[in-house]
Amino acid sequence: MPSALFTPITLGEQTIPNRIAVAPMCMYSADDGSASDWHIQHWMSLGISGAGMITFEATGVERRGRISHGCTGLYSDANEAAMARALAPARRVAAPGAVFGVQLGHAGRKASSQLPWLGGGPLTPAQDAWQTVGPSAIPFAPGWPTPTALDEAGIEAIVAAFVQAAERAARIGLDFVELHGAHGYLLNEFLSPISNRRTDRWGGSLENRMRLIVTIARAVRAVLPARMFVGARLSATEWVEDGFTIEDAIAVAAALKAEGVVYICASSGGNAHDQQIPIGPLYQVDFAEAIRNGAGIATRAVGMITTPAEAEAVLREGRADMVALARAILADPRWPWRAAYELGAEAYAPPQYLRSLTTMKHWVVDDDD
Ligand SMILES: Cc1cc2nc3c(=O)[nH]c(=O)nc-3n(C[C@H](O)[C@H](O)[C@H](O)COP(=O)(O)O)c2cc1C
């Protein structure tokens, strides 16, 4: 039976050679939002992996929408030029038909954070902190700064910033944009009844709380060329009582689908500081399956999917349409080559590296050992 993982998938007008996706991963290595030499090697490495879909890290649509001083942005001409510079060599080494996209986001009340390897948490004034914004003036956690609640004009400016960043993504030549509606950042903050206590048309009912991400999806889709597709990442549950639920996520996914969004990446958590996450292998796959069945949209499963056999089973059992890897492919960018060997499929490697594929059998982990 041919491998499900190495079966092409069509999203919008793009046919992608396999179902291995690289999840968005912040590198905290940008300079005022501009991708650096680090990104050139990083994106080339991910391109050489042979993965079919590569999503660049959470990228701020405005300067204050970055998570940290080191996060990428698409709010200036310099940012646009820098991303284009790093994309070009990554494309040259990637599998034919591989798609590159960017996760567009706004960090909201979790912006102005320290780099993780410097301890994380909110920046202090001495570290050039900036004023954060959110749906309501509610801090993320004790010790975090209180965001300014956005007013109507402020919300419209955020929508416009997403549109401008999407236009930059199109000029760069990317294949898709992913709206970051997960992990407690601004779009997730609006979706959640915990962080959104507004009483205007942007808060209250689920219909009102999803208005921002739906409005952005519509506006972004309208300015992108047909060749580009739009996806979204959602936190399908908050892992607390009285938070956003999987049923809510299915309703949001259906509304996004109606606006032309073609896939949902099902993640979870990040908005409630007291969340209790039962982390373990495949712990978020149920969400991808529920959204796929409930909203009738392609889903990307993510979260502790580490072996080719696990990834293959998720697809073969019809629980998702793609799998995304973060830590596993960061640790081992040859993961897709190894997976192809294990699953009896063909991996793409650039001709310079082709002869190394013969050694993949030595890397296969034997569970009986
Ligand atoms: C270094 C690193 C950076 C990350 N940055 C982002 C990001 O920019 N956007 C996002 O939605 N998730 C981000 N994540 C979460 C991953 O995309 C992924 O959902 C998570 O790590 C679970 O998948 P895994 O078990 O395969 O690592 C990051 C994870 C890691 C390890």
State the residue range of the domain holding 184.
9-368
Question: What is the 8-class DSSP label of residue 113?
Answer: B
Cα 40 to Cα 44, 47, 93: the distances in Å are 6, 10, 12
CATH number at residue 57: 3.20.20.70
Weakest-pLDDT range from 19-28, 81-90, 347-356: 347-356
185 given a catalytic annotation: yes
- Tell me, yes or no, whether 131 lies in a domain: yes
How many independent structural domains does the chain possess?
A: 1
Active-site annotation holder among 28, 75, 185, 348: 185
pLDDT of residue 272: 95
Q: Which residues contact 369 (CB under 8 A, 6 or more apart)?
A: none
Instruction: Examine residue 276 and state whether it is found in any structural domain, yes or no.
Output: yes
Asked if residue 320 is part of any domain, the answer here is yes
Distance 115 CA to ligand 1 centre (A): 14
CA 255–ligand 1 middle distance (angstroms): 25
Give pLDDT tens digits for 17-37. Answer: 999 999 999 999 999 999 999
| Nearest atom, ligand 1, residue 233 CA | 11
The answer to whether position 4 is within a domain reads no
List all residues whose CB is within 6 A of at least one atom of ligand 1. 23-26, 57-58, 103, 180, 182-183, 233, 267, 302-304, 325-328
C-alpha 59 – ligand 1 centre gap (Å): 13
Task: Provide the pLDDT for residue 361.
Answer: 78
Q: Look at ligand 1, atom 1, and give the residue with the nearest C-alpha.
A: 25
pLDDT in tens, 197-221: 999 999 999 999 999 999 999 999 9
Tens of pLDDT, residues 158-174: 999 999 999 999 999 99
Rounded CA separation 107/194 (Å): 16
- For residues 101 and 204, give the distance between their C-alpha atoms in angstroms, rounded to a whole number: 33
d(CA 337, CA 254): 35
- What is the pTM for the complete model shown? 0.97
Q: Is residue 2 part of a domain?
A: no
User: For residue 3, is it within any domain?
Assistant: no
**Closest of 170, 245, 179 to residue 212, by C-alpha:** 179
Residue 335 lies in a domain: yes
- For residue 360, what pLDDT is reported? 83
Report the mean per-residue pLDDT for the chain: 97
- Ligand 1 centre to CA of 329 (Å) is 11
Look at residue 271 and tell me if it is in a domain. yes
Which of 20, 26, 284 is the best mutation target for the ligand 1 pocket, counting ligand atoms within 8 Å of the beta carbon and taking the most? 26
CA distance 110 to 120: 11
- pLDDT of residue 368 exceeding 90, the answer is no
User: In angstroms, what CA-CA distances link 263 with 11, 136, 369?
Assistant: 8, 29, 38
pLDDT value, residue 369: 46
